[in-house]
Amino acid sequence: MTQPCPRCGGRGTISSIEDLQITITCPACKGSSNISTDYIQCQSCRGIGYTSTNHQYNGKLITGTVCVSCNKLGIVKSPQTIFREQQAKQQAEQRAISQRLQQEQELTRQANLAIKQRDQQIADLKQRELLLIEQITENKKKIAEMEKLGQQQQANYLELLKLHLKLQEELISLKQTS
């Protein structure tokens, strides 16, 4: 939305403050005659751009004072525009904050997930370790039983061998006496 430039009245040119005989391009609309409705006439200088103009005083030229509100332009942003811009800025800041918050929450969630997975892996490994210990214990028991059985068989064998030798001796002595 545009409006006729309040500085030049829509003419696009103004008289120079330094020399009223000279016509210059309007600094507010840059000669286009229209400006955005975001701007209003500066109240500090009444749209002139200077709070005091060049004038003669006791035969001396006193230079005008540039308006600090509009810096020579003669227009300023309207209070509504300033309010709207501030609101937009605050909203952008809030959006940035909530975005950062979401990013932090996501990072925390990922970190918690990683911790959970690691804990699960440790638990799985412990369970596997317990299972292996159980199997090893079981195998040791079986080996001990087999060793015991082997010793028993060895003893039986020796017993049998002894008996066999005794019987052979007996047979020989019988053959000799007969």
Answer yes or no whether residue 8 interacts with Zn ion by CB under 5 A. Answer: yes
Contacts of 14 (CB under 8 A, 6+ apart): 7, 8, 23, 24, 26, 27
Instruction: Give the shortest CB-49-to-Zn ion separation in angstroms.
Output: 6
Alpha carbons 80 and 39: distance in angstroms, whole number: 10
Instruction: Give the shortest CB-85-to-Zn ion separation in angstroms.
Output: 19
Instruction: Give the shortest CB-19-to-Zn ion separation in angstroms.
Output: 19
* Residue 15 backbone phi and psi in degrees, to 5: -80, 135
Alpha carbons 173 and 50: distance in angstroms, whole number: 153
Residues of this chain, 64-123, that bind Zn ion according to CB under 5 A: 67, 69-70
Q: Which is nearer to Zn ion, 17 or 26 (CB)?
A: 26
Candidates 7-15, 56-64, 101-109, 129-137: pick the segment binding Zn ion (CB under 5 A).
7-15
Dihedral sign of CA atoms 56, 62, 63, 68 in order: negative
- Do 42 and 76 touch, CB atoms closer than 8 A? yes
Q: Between 24 and 63, how does the x/- string for binding to Zn ion read (CB under 5 A)? A: --x-xx------------x-xx------------------
Task: Give me the residues that bind Zn ion (CB under 5 A), please.
Answer: 5, 7-8, 26, 28-29, 42, 44-45, 67, 69-70
